[in-house]
A and B are shown apart, each in its own frame.
Chain A
Amino acid sequence: MRTISTTVLFSFQQLLSVICGLGLAWALQSPALAQEAPDVFMQRLSTDMLDTVRKDPALKAGDLQKIATLVDTRLVEHINFRRMTASAVGPAWRQATPDQQKRLVEEFKVLLMRSYSGALSQVKDNYTIVVKPLRTPATEAEVVIRSELRGGNEPVAIDYRLEKTPDTASGWRIYNFNLLGVWLVDNYRTQFSQEINAKGIDGLIATLAERNKANNRK
């Protein structure tokens, strides 16, 4: 009698924990349990993106509509566009109104996606991404991940700056990107301040919007 009730109780507990576990994972993406080391996360994410592009001829050809969808569904949650934009704008960011900030983020995001789609259209079938071992402990709030794109006749260095974000599934978000030694966000800083000095924050928003519109016409 005792044996039976223990068994029943045990299996009920098990069932309960499974249900709870599933429910939690589904509802909250269970951040505490699912978080990865940043280098593991980047290896998974970049391999996944590369594989997706390889399998889809439209993506490989640089189809902007499809790339936008891919970025929105698979990548956006892993990128902190707000931080990237603020960093490119610099000190003037603090003077911008919330509405101006929102528009800056929107326009810069579109512009960055343009660069990204250009890079994706260059992907060849034999390309692989090799993420290098971490230099700093993964317990740091911000880490630099270094990787190499291999398959062409020379290796292409691609690095990322990641910040720890307890609220996302992986636990990490990208806030800067480096291609061949060039940090992308930093590379916009002078151009942005030129615009702001000449025409103010609204001028920069207008220039970004104009550039994006012109790109869409092509």
Chain B
Amino acid sequence: MNGRLIHGMVLASLSVFSVGCASLPDQGLNPQDPFETTNRRVSDFNDSLDRSLLRPVAVQYQQVAPELLREGVGNFFGNLADIWSTANNALQLKPMETAETGLRVAVNSVFGVYGLFDWGTRLGLQRHNADFGQTLGYWGVPAGPYVVLPIFGPSNVRDTVGLAVDMEQNLWTSVDPTATRYTGTALRLIDRRAGFLGMDRQLDQVALDKYAFVRDAFMQRRKAQTRRGAADKDDGNGAADSGKEERYDQ
């Protein structure tokens, strides 16, 4: 309980740090991004933190830790996350996604030794990620402006609240003793970062303005994930709006 409280407080102070600094909207050019000046500053902070600490550690981790161990770490925390995804898929009234992700948790928890081995994927059971921010969006809560959180990165006002709930609900949050919990959380963070090592340079290569590229992609993706109607019948992340595009080449 104490750990949960600390988690909540840390997250709350982080969001106050990023949103609060910008309580007066910046006079940016983009009406879609009222906190742009602050967001850019936090992005820079995250980037330098990544460059100086997280990325080098992740590189070391990938070189030193054997593949089997890294897979186990990813699978274990992935399985914990799948439990909460199952709940959120259910809250979003998606029976197929709920069943598939739920079955995955069952298979991996029992036969995969607490999720260390991912038998689910091998059996063709795929993960359908769903978080609480998505659930809120699904039920009509607007995303609000774009917010870049320190350490956590791209978000919006709604998803920041969602993230607090996600962390609260994660089983790892209630692990005792504290040392084990923090070591685990750090390991999870490093493992996830290591998973992106091949792709992080690409973002720099394809974007003209990395901040704008990430922002627009994030906002588009969250919108697609929370879209309702015919679109979410078979998946929650498709590009359902088949409206016509305006064309300028004619």
Chain A residues engaging chain B, CB cutoff 8 angstroms:
82-83, 85-87, 89-91, 93-94, 111, 114-115, 118, 121-122, 132, 135-136, 142-144, 146, 148, 150, 152-155, 157, 159, 161, 175-176, 178, 180-183, 186-192, 194-195, 197, 207-208, 211, 215, 218
Nearest 4 A-B pairs (CB), nearest first?
Answer: A181-B224, A86-B249, A93-B248, A154-B127
Tell which of A85, A135, A157 touches B235, judged by Cβ atoms closer than 8 Å. Answer: A157
A-B contact pairs, 26 of them (CB 8 A): A86-B247, A86-B249, A87-B247, A135-B230, A144-B242, A146-B235, A154-B127, A154-B129, A159-B238, A180-B221, A181-B237, A182-B220, A182-B221, A182-B224, A183-B239, A186-B216, A187-B216, A188-B208, A189-B216, A190-B30, A190-B212, A191-B207, A191-B216, A194-B209, A211-B205, A218-B201
Interface majority SS on B: helix, strand, loop or mixed?
A: loop
Contacts of B205 in A (CB 8 A): 114, 118, 211, 215, 218
Q: Which residue of A lies closest to B211 (CB)?
A: A191
- CB of B176 closer than 8 Å to a CB of A: no
Tell which of A93, A132, A154, A191 touches B249, judged by Cβ atoms closer than 8 Å. Answer: A93
Contacts of A115 in B (CB 8 A): 202, 206
Contact status B212-A194, CB under 8 Å: yes
Chain B residues engaging chain A, CB cutoff 8 angstroms:
29-30, 78, 118, 120-121, 126-129, 198-199, 201-202, 205-209, 212-213, 216-217, 220-225, 230, 234-235, 237-239, 242, 244-249
Q: How far is the CB of A46 from chain B (nearest CB, A)?
A: 16
Contact status B249-A118, CB under 8 Å: no
With known contacts A154-B128, A187-B216, A181–B207 Cβ distance under 8 A: no
Q: Which residue of A lies closest to B220 (CB)?
A: A182
With known contacts A118-B206, A153-B118, A82–B238 Cβ distance under 8 A: no
Tell which of B201, B220, B238, B248 touches A186, judged by Cβ atoms closer than 8 Å. Answer: B220
Tell which of B126, B201, B208, B246 touches A211, judged by Cβ atoms closer than 8 Å. Answer: B208
Contact status A153-B249, CB under 8 Å: no
Contact status A154-B126, CB under 8 Å: yes
Kindly state the separation between the CA atoms of A175 and B250 in the bound complex, as whole angstroms: 14
Q: Which residue of B lies closest to A113 (CB)?
A: B206
Contacts of B201 in A (CB 8 A): 218
Tell which of B126, B202, B221 touches A153, judged by Cβ atoms closer than 8 Å. Answer: B126
With known contacts A155-B126, A190-B30, A118–B199 Cβ distance under 8 A: yes
- 4 more contacts with CB within 8 A, not counting A142-B244, A153-B78, A154-B129, are A136-B242, A180-B224, A181-B237, A191-B213
Contact status B245-A87, CB under 8 Å: yes
Tell which of B120, B129, B238, B246 touches A181, judged by Cβ atoms closer than 8 Å. Answer: B238
Contact status A153-B121, CB under 8 Å: yes
With known contacts A182-B217, A211-B208, A218-B205, A83–B239 Cβ distance under 8 A: no
Contacts of A91 in B (CB 8 A): 248
Q: How far is the CB of A35 from chain B (nearest CB, A)?
A: 21
Contact status B239-A159, CB under 8 Å: yes
Kindly state the separation between the CA atoms of A201 and B17 in the bound complex, as whole angstroms: 38
Contact status A118-B217, CB under 8 Å: no
